[in-house]
Amino acid sequence: MNSGRGEGDVKADHKPPQNDTQPGGFFGLSVSSLLGGGVWVMVARLFSQVAQLIAFVAAARVLSPAEFGFFAFVSAIAFLFVVVSEGGWAEFIMRADHGEEQLPQLTAIALVSGFGFTAAGLLLGLFVGVFWFPAWQAWLFALFALWFIPAAVNAVYDGMLVHRSLLNMQAIIRILAEAVGLAITLFGLWAGWNIAALVVGRLATHILGVFGGVWVIGWITPKIPSRAVFAEVIHFARYILSVRIIVFARSYSGTLVVGGLLGLADAGYYRAAERIVAAFSELVGEPARLLAWVVFRRANSRSAAATTVDPITRAGSFFLPVLFAIAAPVYLGLVLVAGNLVDIALGAAWAPVALVVKILAIRQLLMFQGYVTEPLLAVRGEVKRLWPLSLFISFASILMIVALAPFGLVYAALGQCVAAAFAGALSVWFQVRYGKLDWMGISANSGLIMLAAAVMFVGVSSLAHWPTEAHLPAYSQMAMQVLVGALIYLGVLYASWRWTGWLKSGR
C-alpha cells in the first residue's frame, strides 16, 4: 500500500542528526539524544512502513491483480493531489522563526488548499464516472478525494510539533494513527469492502493525525492571510513543491504509465514488485542516510592538518565500501529468493511479479551510492546541486518507462535498470566533483566485496534445484537459500579480510 504520507520518497523526512559533535555516546552522540526525539521518529517511520507492508500483503491476498492495479493507479493520482495540497506548510513552520505568529493565517491557507483539491477530486470522480469508469469506481474516486482536507491540515500540525520539539508526541500520534488505519483496512478486507477498505484505512490515518495534533497543540483558529504573508508562504512552498513533484514523478511514473498503456492488471503487478523491492530498499537506505549524516558531519568537524587526506574524503573511502558490503547481499539475495518470496507473501496468482522483482532489485543495487549523496553534498555546502541531480535522474527514469513500457512489464523494468545505471554514474560524478570523494579508492576497497557477492550468487544458484527436487515448501526453500547465501558470503568476506587486511585502515 503506497498512499498518503507513508512513503518516504516523496516526503523529505530525513533531517540531519543534531548534537553529533558532543563528547561521549555513539559516533559522538550522547545517550540522551539517542533515546530522545530522533529515536521516536525512527520508530514511528519503521512502524509506518511495517503497517503499510502488512496492508499491502493482505490486499494482494484478497484483491485480484486488476483490482490492486486500479487502487495503485488511482491512489497515485490521489497522492499527487495530497502532495500539492500539503504544499510546504510544515516546512514553512519549521523553518521560520515567526512560524507560530503566522500559524492562524497558514491554517487558513491549508484549509483552502485542502477544500480546493477535494472539490477538484470530486469533479474528477464525476467526470471519470460519466466518461470512463463504472459508477462504483467513480464513488471510489470521491472517497479518495476526502484525503486532501485532513492531509493539508495535518501538515500544519506536524510542522508545529517539530517546531516545538515535540518529536516524541509526533511519533506517538503517527504510530496510533497508522495502527488504527491498519486495523480498519484489515477489517474492511475481511468484511468484503474490497478496494474501499484501503481508501478508508488511509483516510482514518489522516483524520486521526489531525485529531492527535489538536489534542497536543489545541485547535488553531484560521485567519484570513494578509497579502504579504500569503506571498511569503507561496514563494517558499513553490520550491518545496517543485522537488516533491520531481520525486513523485520518478516514484509513480511506472505505475501510471504501465496502467495507462498495458492495463490495470499489469499496473498491479508492477506496483506490487516496486513495493516489495521498496521494503528492502528502506531497510538499507534509511539507516544508511542517517549514519551518513553522522559520519560526514563528524569528519567535517575534524581538522585536516594532521593528514594529507581530507577527512570527509577519507570517511567516504571507508563508509561507501561498508555500505556496498551490506547492500550487495541484500539485493542479490532478493534476486535469488524472489520467486519463493512472492509465492509466500502474495500467492500463486502473483507469479509474474517475481521476474520484475528480480530486475528492480538489480536497479536498486546499481544506485546504492545515491543513499549518501544528500548528506555528503549538504556537509560540503553544495546542497544546491541536489535539485538538478534529482531532476536528471527523474527525467531518465520517466523517459525509459515511457519508451519501453509499451513492450511489456519486463521491458519496463529493464528500462529502469538502464536509468539506474545512469543515475548511479551521475551520482558518482556529483560525489567526486562536488563531494570530493575518491571513487578510485572506494572501488579498490570494494573489489573483494564484489568477489564475495559473486561467489554467493553462483553458489546459491547452483544449489537451487536441490530444495525443489526434494519438494520442500516455498518457505523452507527460501530459508535454505538465505542460510546458504549468508554462510557463503560471510565466509568469503571474512577470509578475504583475514588474508589481505582489507579495509582495516579505512583508506
Same domain, 428 and 390: yes
Q: What is the 3-state secondary structure (H, E, C) of 19-86?
A: CCCCCCCECCECHHHHCCHHHHHHHHHHHHHHHHHHHHHHHHHHCCHHHHHHHHHHHHHHHHHHHHHH
If pLDDT is split at 50, 70 and 90, which confidence band does 184 have? Answer: very high
Which has more confidence, 13 or 303?
303
Other Cβ atoms within 10 Å of 497 Cβ, number: 14
Q: Is residue 23 part of a domain?
A: no
Judge whether 434 and 467 are in contact, CB under 8 Å. Answer: no
DSSP classification of residue 372: G
Q: Is residue 37 part of a domain?
A: no
Domain boundary, last residue among 261, 281, 304: 261
pLDDT at 102: 76
Exposed e or buried b per residue across 22-44, where buried means at least 16 C-beta atoms within 10 angstroms of its C-beta: eeeeeebbeeebeebbbebbeeb
Per-residue pLDDT of 320-365, as tens digits, reads 998 999 999 999 999 999 988 998 888 888 988 999 999 999 999 9
This prediction's pTM: 0.76
pLDDT at 399: 93
Tell me which residue has cell 513523485. 248
Cα 277–Cα 10–Cα 126 angle in degrees, nearest 5: 100
Which amino acid is located at 231 in the chain?
A
pLDDT at 428: 94
**Calculated CA dihedral for residues 315, 320, 326, 328, nearest 10 degrees:** -170
Whether 10 shows a pLDDT value over 70: the answer reads: no
- Please state the rounded mean pLDDT for residues 108-120: 89
Which has more confidence, 71 or 307?
71
If pLDDT is split at 50, 70 and 90, which confidence band does 132 have? Answer: low
Q: Is residue 33 part of a domain?
A: no
The helix (run of H) or strand (run of E) holding residue 207 is helix 195-217
- Please state the rounded mean pLDDT for residues 414-436: 93
pLDDT at 24: 41
Whether 387 shows a pLDDT value over 90: the answer reads: no
Nearest to 90 by CA among 78, 108, 74, 106: 106
pLDDT at 189: 93
The helix (run of H) or strand (run of E) holding residue 357 is helix 353-366
pLDDT at 242: 78
The helix (run of H) or strand (run of E) holding residue 236 is helix 227-262
Which has more confidence, 240 or 477?
477
Nearest to 92 by CA among 244, 221, 237, 217: 237
Mean pLDDT across the chain: 81
Judge whether 241 and 225 are in contact, CB under 8 Å. Answer: no
Quote the CA–CA distance of 181 and 203 in Å, as a whole number: 8
pLDDT at 470: 66
Quote the CA–CA distance of 12 and 390 in Å, as a whole number: 13
Same domain, 254 and 280: no
If pLDDT is split at 50, 70 and 90, which confidence band does 388 have? Answer: confident
Same domain, 244 and 359: no
Quote the CA–CA distance of 442 and 211 in Å, as a whole number: 49
Nearest to 296 by CA among 376, 398, 374, 238: 376
- Tell me how long the chain is: 507
Tell me which residue has cell 492562524. 104
Overall number of domains in the chain: 2
If pLDDT is split at 50, 70 and 90, which confidence band does 315 have? Answer: confident
Quote the CA–CA distance of 370 and 296 in Å, as a whole number: 15
If pLDDT is split at 50, 70 and 90, which confidence band does 9 have? Answer: very low
Same domain, 366 and 484: yes
- Please state the rounded mean pLDDT for residues 62-86: 86
- Please state the rounded mean pLDDT for residues 233-253: 79
Quote the CA–CA distance of 346 and 338 in Å, as a whole number: 11
Same domain, 331 and 405: yes
Which residues make Cβ contacts (< 8 Å) with residue 200, sequence separation at least 6?
143, 184, 185, 188, 193
pLDDT at 16: 43
Which has more confidence, 7 or 130?
130
Q: Is residue 160 part of a domain?
A: yes
Judge whether 265 and 69 are in contact, CB under 8 Å. Answer: yes
Per-residue pLDDT of 487-505, as tens digits, reads 998 888 888 776 765 554 4
Whether 3 shows a pLDDT value over 90: the answer reads: no
Same domain, 228 and 251: yes
pLDDT at 17: 42
Same domain, 277 and 424: yes
Nearest to 354 by CA among 339, 343, 340: 339
Q: Is residue 194 part of a domain?
A: yes
Judge whether 427 and 389 are in contact, CB under 8 Å. Answer: yes
Q: Is residue 38 part of a domain?
A: no
Quote the CA–CA distance of 269 and 273 in Å, as a whole number: 6
Same domain, 274 and 245: no
Same domain, 244 and 327: no
- Please state the rounded mean pLDDT for residues 118-126: 83
pLDDT at 246: 81
Same domain, 406 and 469: yes
If pLDDT is split at 50, 70 and 90, which confidence band does 308 have? Answer: low
If pLDDT is split at 50, 70 and 90, which confidence band does 207 have? Answer: very high
- Please state the rounded mean pLDDT for residues 40-61: 84
Same domain, 305 and 209: no
Q: Is residue 455 part of a domain?
A: yes
Question: Largest alpha-carbon pair distance within the chain?
Answer: 74
Nearest to 134 by CA among 190, 70, 79, 185: 70
Whether 130 shows a pLDDT value over 70: the answer reads: no
Half-sphere exposure of 26 (CA within 13 A, CB side): 8
pLDDT at 64: 86
Residue 48 sits in which domain range?
1-10+43-261
Nearest to 355 by CA among 339, 366, 367: 339
Lowest-confidence pick of 220-229, 389-398, 405-414: 220-229
Quote the CA–CA distance of 180 and 188 in Å, as a whole number: 12
Same domain, 382 and 244: no
Domain boundary, last residue among 261, 290, 312: 261
Q: Is residue 363 part of a domain?
A: yes
- Please state the rounded mean pLDDT for residues 420-424: 94
pLDDT at 105: 84
Inter-CA distances, 502 with 294, 328, 393, 506, Å: 23, 17, 33, 8
Lowest-confidence pick of 10-24, 165-179, 428-442, 450-464: 10-24
